[in-house]
Amino acid sequence: MKQKAKKTVFFCQECGYESTKWLGQCPGCKEWNTFVEEVVDKKKISSSGKIVNTPRKENKTFALNEIKIDLEDRTSTGIKELDRVLGGGIVKGSMTLIGGDPGIGKSTLLLQVCQNLSSKGEKVLYVSGEESTQQIKIRADRIGQFTNNLRLFCETNLSTIREIIEKEKPKVVIIDSIQTMYDEEVSSTPGSVSQVREATAILMQIAKGMNISMFIVGHVTKEGVVAGPRVLEHMVDTVLYFEGDRHESYRILRGVKNRFGSTNEIGVFEMRQTGLEEVENPSEFMLSGKPKDASGSVVTCSVEGTRPVLLEIQALVCHSFFNNPRRTSTGLDYNRVNLLMAVIEKRLGIRLSDCDAYINIAGGAKLNEPAIDLGIVMAVLSSHLDIAIDDKMVCFGEVGLSGEIRSVNSTEQRINEAQKLGFKTCVIPDISKNKLPMIENINIIGVRNLQDVLQLLSSKKA
């Protein structure tokens, strides 16, 4: 008897768009070469999980004034930096996705959350599809003592996990990781587009239906995004990303999506033997080890959410012996660095087209705020002219294509942060200086354009 051929469908790994044939460009998200072929089963159920007979709801519309909002109190994780990124704590029935490179600390942070919640009497279920209970126990022993309110369960079958959740009725569930979970009704392998999408839909149904707060861990691709369809990020309530090199001691947790709070907040942690420790003053931590009297080094200030952070920008500009000079940027937008160097060459007449340029943010942080433009310009000029910038000077401001220095937000807040860390001089846009109240014990210098910046640096050399 001839076996019936299996039906295959092509899925876009970015947005989950389905097609009966392979396409070079996805019609949904316009990305190239993102389609993968997967076998589908005609008996597959809908993405809502198992079908349950529910009573038919009355069709009725509502006016906004008739809707009453029940504001649920947030549950603190016991980690202030994590609470800051979450918007104040864990919301009941929410689903949070945490992504990051392997070994960066995702499982460690969630295990510390489990420790804090279980010690307060909250029932927590940790579901692992990658590690055994013995392996989790080894990590837990490094962190500290745990109560019996934390229950471990090693399984990848979602049907079994659903039964355990219904039996244990925990307040918080940790899924580590979503790429290892599978639904028996879906014929594709775990980690595929279909399985990740169906697994997330089933877990969301459990979280919303039972009012359980759920954290799921997601693997990332080499581009740094969560592996699987982009629709995964659309389905969850909150998306958090770990940044930083796993070989470095610090970690930055950044919120890129949050239905219950701001998406601009960051949390800073330091990896130690006992787990992730909070860094209450990230500015002081990031500036530790800054060289003295070295050209090409300048301190700038960036605002992440409600928190100003001081960071060191380093630049190395030297003559190139090749036809095409090399430009490299770490932690900064490469195109933005090239644009600023073109502005310097055009507006100041300083030739940089035959120079190699290497721009770096010390510590491995990543910034994409226009306020750091002035820091990049001053670092490049300092290195090229071999002029050391005062160690007690901080600068910030946006640089326009005409060479003008434009104002930025939270100017007073940035100056107060610099003053708190002992900085004596602050270089800011001249238009922002005129709007500031009187601030004592710090010298504020206003610059209008790149000519003022060059004149300021030349006076330091003299």
Query: For residue 44, what pLDDT is reported?
Result: 45
Mean pLDDT for 384-401 is 94
Please provide residue 268's backbone torsions phi and psi, each rounded to the nearest 5 degrees: -110, 130
In tens, the pLDDT along 211-241 reads 999 999 987 765 556 655 567 788 899 999 8
Q: How far is it, in rounded angstroms, from Cα 185 to Cα 421?
A: 58
Q: How far is it, in rounded angstroms, from Cα 456 to Cα 292?
A: 19
Query: For residue 453, what pLDDT is reported?
Result: 95
Whether residue 43 is annotated as binding a ligand: the answer is no
Write a three-state SS string for 197-251. HHHHHHHHHHHHHHCCEEEEEECECCCCCECCCCHHHHHCCEEEEEECCCCCCEE
Q: How far is it, in rounded angstroms, from Cα 133 to Cα 140?
A: 10
Q: Poorest-confidence range of 68-72, 155-159, 368-372?
A: 68-72
Mean pLDDT for 142-166 is 93
- What percent of the chain lies above the pLDDT cut of 70? 90
Is residue 337 within 8 Å of 327, Cβ to Cβ? yes
Domain boundaries, the chain: 7-40, 74-280, 285-461
Look at 221 and 435; give whichever has higher pLDDT. 435
Whether residue 106 is annotated as binding a ligand: the answer is yes
Whether residue 103 is annotated as binding a ligand: the answer is yes
CA 370 vs CA 319, 373, 406: distances in Å: 28, 6, 9
- What percent of the chain lies above the pLDDT cut of 90? 47
pTM of the predicted model, to two decimals?
0.74
Whether residue 333 is annotated as binding a ligand: the answer is no
Task: Please check whether the domain covering 74-280 is classified as CATH 3.40.640.10.
Answer: no
For residue 297, give every residue at least 6 positions away whose Cβ sits within 8 Å of its Cβ, in sequence order, or none. Answer: 290, 291, 312, 313, 314, 315, 379, 382, 388, 389
Q: How far is it, in rounded angstroms, from Cα 145 to Cα 224?
A: 33
In tens, the pLDDT along 190-213 reads 877 778 888 999 999 999 999 999
Write down the H helix ranges in 22-132. 80-86, 106-119
Whether residue 105 is annotated as binding a ligand: the answer is yes
CATH value of 285-461 in 3.30.230.10, 3.40.50.300, 3.40.50.150, 3.60.20.10 = 3.30.230.10
Is residue 154 within 8 Å of 181, Cβ to Cβ? no
Whether residue 102 is annotated as binding a ligand: the answer is yes
In tens, the pLDDT along 5-21 reads 667 888 887 777 788 88
Task: State whether residue 261 is helix, strand or coil.
Answer: coil
Query: For residue 179, what pLDDT is reported?
Result: 87
Q: How far is it, in rounded angstroms, from Cα 347 to Cα 345?
A: 6
Token look-up 């790429």 returns 179
Is residue 117 within 8 Å of 151, Cβ to Cβ? no
